[in-house]
Amino acid sequence: MGFDLLGLSEPTLTAVTDAGYSEPTPIQAQAIPQVLMGRDVLGIAQTGTGKTASFTLPMIDILAHGRARARMPRSLILEPTRELAAQVAENFEKYGKNHKLSMALLIGGVNFADQEKALDRGVDVLIATPGRLLDHFERGKLLLTGIEILVVDEADRMLDMGFIPDVEKICERIPRQHQTLFFSATMPPVIQRLTKQFLNDPKKIEVSRPSSSSTNISQHLIEVPMVKQKRRVLRALLRTEDVKNGIIFCNRKTSVKETYESLKRHGFSVGQLHGDMAQSERLEILRQFKENEIKLLCASDVAARGLDIADVSHVFNLDVPSHAEDYVHRIGRTGRAGRTGSAFTIAAKTRDDDKYVSAIEKMTGLALPRTDVPDDKADDEPLPGKSRARSEKPEAADAPSEEKPRASRSRRPRKDEAPAEKAAAPKAETKAEPKAEPQPRPQPQPEKRAEKKVDKPAPRGRRRRDDDDDFEPVVGMGDHMPAFLMTPVKLSK
């Protein structure tokens, strides 16, 4: 079945053909006719199955008739991340090139003024992240009363990132008469409650079992004794596997930076992508990776959802994902559009990694195949300009340590002196001379009281209690009687 049987207009079909697509995916074949009919849709499909085109193509035809008004967009697409929002915007430009539809992109990291200018001109399609959308709404720069179509994409990712309260606020401000499209790879209970609250008799389309992974991906699990051995195993995989390009996932942004710097030191073509980077840097790194200017991409879960990079050969989980659903999304970056891919997960013998692996196997219903650690002899070689490995240093340093006497802390012998003769001389002198009394070490003295006898020399060293007799005694009241005590007092009778 081709796209021409789905009810799309001729200009849209031309754009699809120009993009190189001839047959729709299962989710597209079932969702596009329902969206064109105006029904609410609840789409559940694994990542990489073409969910984005299943709502962008029919929306282009629906919005082709009508006119946008200032600050009142006609449709709204909510995305959890900036990268996904930018990717959907690219799809609208690609498929809607034969239509005169206006579009605005509201994401963080971009100047508010430029976005406000686009809203003032009026837009047919508004693509936004929930936080930035509410910022414009609260400033009074945006009205949601003209929304005809609402799309909530990657709803389960919205839940993971804590955006569900913002999504609920947005849905409450949209007119009751509108079409709602929900698309997600998994359906947690919270998302199910949300769909029951805001969808009206939706058409449920499920083209794969929830939380399942693609059969085009060969999955492997490599177990190592300690966490610090993971990077070495990763480098071995990168050298032994036929890696055209690959994404390396870490759980934390700090781990992404450390892994990126480590691989760069070892000579790999690599970039990094995480939430602490500016939006312009993130887009530039994605461009370089898509155009094969860099071979590897170290990323956090910001790259795990919906990024459409057609031909990624490998995915490496340097950290086992703490949420089992994230595993499906991570490995879904490879094996897309009918291609095959490989996914390697490196797990240490720790309580956390064992727990996460068990959760993944329970969710997917598959036992991850165990793979042996690849043998990489190239990693034993020292880096250019670096010293030898640490394991080789102790043998050279410890060999003469048993024969060499321990040096004295007080004074080191000069090179021109013989150590044995120098050590024997003091012993002969100490036997001939009488033993002198050790002098006390001078220490800082507290401030002394003034002394009347200036001709007497001060005692050396710390003063003992017996030395107090050498000083004038403290002058007290003595026999002197103060005058106020001599005042006569009258006694009462």
To the nearest whole number, what is the mean pLDDT of the chain? Answer: 80
Distance CA 8, CA 57 (A): 8
Chain position carrying tokens 């919205």? 158
**What is the per-residue pLDDT for 47?**
65
**What is the per-residue pLDDT for 309?**
75
Residue-range domains of the chain with CATH: 3-206 (3.40.50.300), 217-381 (3.40.50.300)
Q: What is the DSSP letter of 474?
A: P
Q: What is the mean pLDDT of residues 398-427?
A: 47
**What is the per-residue pLDDT for 199?**
93
Query: Which of 116-125, 254-263, 329-338, 352-361 is least confident?
Result: 329-338
Q: What is the mean pLDDT of residues 252-260?
A: 93
pLDDT for 189-224, tens place per residue? 888 898 999 999 999 998 865 556 667 889 999 999
pLDDT band, residue 456 (cuts 50/70/90): low
DSSP for 270-316, please give it.
Answer: EEEE-TTS-HHHHHHHHHHHHTTSSSEEEE-GGGSSS---TT--EEE
- Cβ neighbours, 10 Å, residue 423: 13
Query: Which of 30-39, 127-136, 306-315, 445-454 is least confident?
Result: 445-454
CB 368 within 8 Å of CB 357: yes
pLDDT band, residue 490 (cuts 50/70/90): confident
Ordered alpha helix ranges (H), 44-163: 51-63, 82-95, 112-121, 130-138, 155-160
pTM above 0.85, yes or no: no
pLDDT of residue 123 exceeding 60, the answer is yes
Q: What are the residues whose beta carbons fall under 8 Å from the beta carbon of 445, sequence distance 6 or more?
A: 462, 463
Closest residue by Cα to residue 368 from 249, 224, 225, 220: 220
CB 48 within 8 Å of CB 214: yes
CB 16 within 8 Å of CB 57: yes
CB 102 within 8 Å of CB 154: no
Between 282 and 427, the more confident residue is 282
pLDDT for 137-191, tens place per residue? 999 999 999 999 999 998 888 887 889 999 999 999 999 899 999 998 778 888 8
Distance CA 63, CA 127 (A): 14
Distance CA 276, CA 256 (A): 11
Helix orientation angle between 10-18 and 51-63, rounded to the nearest 10 degrees: 140
CB 306 within 8 Å of CB 52: yes
Measured CA distances, 409 to 110, 406, 412, 416, 463 (Å): 63, 9, 7, 19, 30
pLDDT of residue 61 exceeding 60, the answer is yes
CA 398 to chain centre: 42
Closest residue by Cα to residue 77 from 27, 35, 116: 35
Characterize the bridge pairing of strands 149-153 and 125-128.
Answer: unpaired
Between 259 and 439, the more confident residue is 259
Distance CA 316, CA 467 (A): 81
Q: For residue 245, which amino acid is it? A: N
407: tokens are 């040096």
The listed range with the strongest mean pLDDT (27-41, 81-95, 214-228) is 27-41
366 Rama class: left (phi>0) / alpha (psi -120 to 50) / beta:
beta
**What is the per-residue pLDDT for 466?**
44
Closest residue by Cα to residue 325 from 297, 368, 362, 352: 362
Helix (H) or strand (E) holding 151: strand 149-153
pLDDT for 292-335, tens place per residue? 999 999 998 877 665 667 789 999 999 999 888 788 888 888 88
Distance CA 305, CA 321 (A): 13
Query: Which of 40-44, 257-261, 279-283 is least confident?
Result: 279-283
219: tokens are 């999955």
pLDDT band, residue 349 (cuts 50/70/90): very high
Helix (H) or strand (E) holding 206: strand 203-206
